[in-house]
Structure 1
Amino acid sequence: MTSSEPHQSILDKPFVLDLFAGPGGLDVAGHTHDIPSLGIEWDKNACLTRYAAGLDTLHADVSAVRRDYFESLPPEINVLAGGPPCQTYSVAGHGAGRQALEKVKKYIERLMAGDSDQDVDKKLATLPDPRTALVLEPLRYAIQATRSPRREHRPYDVIVLEQVPAVAPLWEHYAKVLKETGLPDGTKYEVVVGILDTETYGVPQTRSRAVLIARREGLGKPSLPGPTHRSYDAKEWNRMSGMSEPDRVHQPTLHDGTTESGSDPHLPLWRSMEYALAEPVGSHPGRRTPFLVRSNYGSSGNPGRRGVRTDRQPATTVTGRISRFVVFEPVDEKDENIVQEGPRFSMNEAGMLQSFPPDYPWSGRAQAQQVGNAVPPLFGAHLLSAALGLGKPDPEVLRKPWQPATTEQRAKLRSNGCGAADTCTDRCPRPEDQVPPPSSVRPRKGKKATPK
């Protein structure tokens, strides 16, 4: 990816290992920088999307790879990245992870003290929701790298992690032990942690993420990426909604030099859904008709970020329920309050609201869930830029249609990732082995499960 600023990566040849890689958000970010990556992903459908997109992938359980196949990973990998599953920490989930925060912090300390994997695994097995323990996998990979003969016991140079805001206390604890205690071999890192809003990096949706960027000592102190756009604030929008476009852009500032949202007034406004979807590109026909979107989801825990938005606003957080968002279009040009239901977002459009390139080849089933679970590529590009000392990314690169893999390329990628060119094999995770069971069959608090 090009940048208006001269830059030089702190690493000669960055190579990213993307844990819990999903359909490829961080990998797309890396590819726009010409940074190779290898993703590990459990979900078969997300892997089908990754193969179709031409992304190197292992269809595997992250924990199993660490335990049993770590030595098969390319030894030149020097950047560890990941966004562990967020369901147990998300405000939209059951909250098992939020309830176990203090326990997980203790497991972090035990790992850094050099406790054996077997002892830690026995303790982790007692957690009510096994997915809660997955937030420890990046740390366990960092430790395993220092124990790897094939890597000559070389630690990762850079670590980049992102999760829902509720995980921020764990990232802070990660930072504390990485800086003060160090890995069991003595390796220490300079670390920065923060909660960032994706719309302040040009992503056309409001989405808050807790991020951690770490660099091995000697590679310089990392910093969080600087924002490129103002943050979205519902009250500020209500005040601006009746203004003309020039007035909105040049809104008045407060005495301290900020806007009501706390943003730098010299930055441009956030990107809107109109910016992302209005113009035709690739197979996307364009949404030139103004529209309203109604959603009760995707608020990042902030009630002011849900409800109805116009195409001149950023989308609410794109979740796995994006296909349920109801889109309304005006019926009467003279009265914008008279509307009728229009076509809902296609998966291509949903991906574009996540900042995926147009025509990204969403494949398999549960595509809306894939889109919602992904790291927004433009946000990921800013994280990688900050982590590696690169200039700010050019968002226009991600607005060009994605070129999918050829049939032959897909077959080769799946052979490498699954063990066969056209199917999964015994080495792939089985959907029926995924734990815990779906929430629809879990008893709700205070109720007993119906005997079967």
Structure 2
Amino acid sequence: MTSAAPHQPILDKPFVLDLFAGPGGLDVAGHALDIPSLGIEWDRSACLTRYAAGLDTLHADVSAVRRDAFESLPPEINVLAGGPPCQTYSVAGKGAGRKALEEVKEYIERLMAGHSDEAIDRSLKKLSDPRTAMVLEPLRYAIQATRSPNRQKRPYDVIVLEQVPAVEALWHHYAKVLKETGLPDGTKYEVVVDVLDTETYGVPQTRSRAVLIARREGLGQPSLPAPTHRAYEAKEWNRRAVQAASRIHQPTLDAPDTSGVTDTAPGIDDKGLRPWTSMGEALADPVGTHPGRRTPFLVRSNYGSSGIPGRRGVRTDRQPAATVTGRISRFVVFEHLNESVVREGARFSMNEAGMLQSFPPDYPWSGTAQAQQVGNAVPPVFGAHLLSAALGLPAPDPEVLRKPWQSATEEQRAKLRSHGCGAADTCTARCPRPERQTPVRSSSRPRVDASKQPEANGTDSLRRISPRSSGL
């Protein structure tokens, strides 16, 4: 359900708590909307990116903060947001979460009935993959807010969640209990849930996300953000590509040359929708340190798009990218030299990969596993649309996110890391252990990130954390 009603902000001073914050997609969206945020992120490299970007960050485990440091969170936070880890729910994963959907729904019922955290935690240990339980954390935070003396037991006003499409069933169950049952203190919400395609909001890639937007009763019925761009129709594009290939020499790739193919409906249509944003449009112009990509190109990915294996293959610069994941660094880019010859060119830089996720140019990707950071992030343009719809704000101006990002100064970065890690230039005992930074891959040896970090987990020291907006 989308709405064309006049925009009316529902909160005077929104302040977002971003769970599983990653490198900052939702926080960058908040920055574009002048909305402050605090992110909680456990991965050291993602936190390094956030510090370099100037984003308020707590380097910690989301569950540990809820258990041990909730009272230190800023009491003025009134918007809860997040995208829990999706590996076990993703079509690309082994599917432990999909198999446990009904079991997780039972945990939701138990939480809403007021069962103790200790009893819930004991039961959750039985799950085959502990990441599956992370999808419960937003609900547990919402409940904890109503029990917090520091917040005067005030519930969050707005909740915004996004995940892979396979989680839609759980979001619908969230919606049911938030609206009908209410939190244990009786707080109820008006909720809307759906699966949205990011290219319909101007993100230059096809990516589908299950979205939940909730408003506390009395703040009005929420609505989904209205699309601003047309959906990418793969079948129509491929049909025209085949027709073009019958007229143009076939290049040495597993896809037809589409240099003669143009958008079927250029310009704004009768519904006010613009054409979807292509890779070429996103990357063509020089901006910041990005030199621009003016030469027509093809991109070959080695996996499906939006969870649909049939979409794998080659796309041109006139199409949106396939879903950007941690494999973006494996995308092979081929440049057109003329109508019949292509050559393999340079692969996308991390700056370009971020731009395909709609991050601003020159976003300061830092640490290791940068491609994974890019792929795991919420596309900022999409996030800005979600926050705007949730808070009753006008649709965001995408041009704000096309400008080069101004990174934090060394002094600002040191101040942010002192808040987030406990020291200006290193992690401390309260940060998550290094061996837990990157989940072990089933087909390879464990990857150890940040081997110089302290070994102690230090959950007790979380009680001393006082994350506050730095005002940078």
Q: Answer whether TM exceeds 0.5 for this pair.
A: yes
Is the partner of 2:355 in helix, strand or coil? helix
Distance 1:247 1:434, change over 3 A: closer
Which position in structure 2 is the counterpart of 1:208? 208
- 1:230–1:264 Cα contact (<8 Å) kept: no
Which position in structure 2 is the counterpart of 1:282? 288
Which position in structure 1 is the counterpart of 2:89? 89
Distance 1:76 1:130, change over 3 A: same
Identity of counterpart residues, as a percentage?
82
Which position in structure 2 is the counterpart of 1:65? 65
Of the three residues 417, 422, 425, the one matched with 1:414 is 417
- 1:91–1:301 Cα contact (<8 Å) kept: yes
Which position in structure 1 is the counterpart of 2:436? 433
Note the C-alpha offset of 1:235: 1.1
Quick one: distance in 2 between partners of 1:436 and 1:133? 15
Quick one: distance in 1 between partners of 2:436 and 2:397? 41
When the two chains are superposed, the root-mean-square deviation of aligned CA atoms in Å is 2.0
Quick one: distance in 2 between partners of 1:383 and 1:305? 26
Note the C-alpha offset of 1:300: 1.6
- 2:267–2:275 Cα contact (<8 Å) kept: no
Q: 1:30 and 2:30 equivalent?
A: yes
- 1:207–1:300 Cα contact (<8 Å) kept: yes
Quick one: distance in 1 between partners of 2:270 and 2:141? 38
Note the C-alpha offset of 1:334: 3.7
- 2:158–2:216 Cα contact (<8 Å) kept: yes
Is the partner of 2:150 in helix, strand or coil? coil
Which position in structure 1 is the counterpart of 2:190? 190
Which position in structure 1 is the counterpart of 2:362? 359
Note the C-alpha offset of 1:248: 3.8
Of the three residues 394, 398, 409, the one matched with 1:395 is 398
Q: 1:149 and 2:149 equivalent?
A: yes
Of the three residues 317, 327, 338, the one matched with 1:321 is 327
Quick one: distance in 2 between partners of 1:196 and 1:59? 30
Structure 1 segments (4+ residues) deviating >4 Å:
240-247, 263-266
Quick one: distance in 1 between partners of 2:200 and 2:181? 33
- 1:129–1:436 Cα contact (<8 Å) kept: no
Quick one: distance in 2 between partners of 1:428 and 1:108? 29
Which position in structure 2 is the counterpart of 1:249? 266
Deviations 1:5-54 (A, max 9, x none): 98442000000000000000000000111100000000000000000000
Quick one: distance in 2 between partners of 1:71 and 1:193? 30
Distance 1:24 1:436, change over 3 A: closer
Note the C-alpha offset of 1:153: 0.2
Quick one: distance in 2 between partners of 1:8 and 1:43? 37
Quick one: distance in 2 between partners of 1:347 and 1:244? 28
Quick one: distance in 2 between partners of 1:217 and 1:155? 11
AA in 2 matched with 1:116: S
Distance 1:318 1:264, change over 3 A: farther
AA in 2 matched with 1:386: A
Quick one: distance in 1 between partners of 2:278 and 2:263? 15
Unpaired stretches in structure 1, ≥5 consecutive residues? 252-262, 443-452
Which position in structure 1 is the counterpart of 2:455? none
Quick one: distance in 1 between partners of 2:36 and 2:180? 31
Which position in structure 2 is the counterpart of 1:259? none
Which position in structure 1 is the counterpart of 2:351? 348
Note the C-alpha offset of 1:438: 2.8
AA in 2 matched with 1:24: G
How many pairs were matched up? Answer: 426
Distance 1:307 1:414, change over 3 A: same
Quick one: distance in 2 between partners of 1:284 and 1:436? 32
Segment drifting more, 32-41 vs 242-251: 242-251
TM-score for the superposition, normalised by structure 2 = 0.87
Is the partner of 1:440 in helix, strand or coil? coil
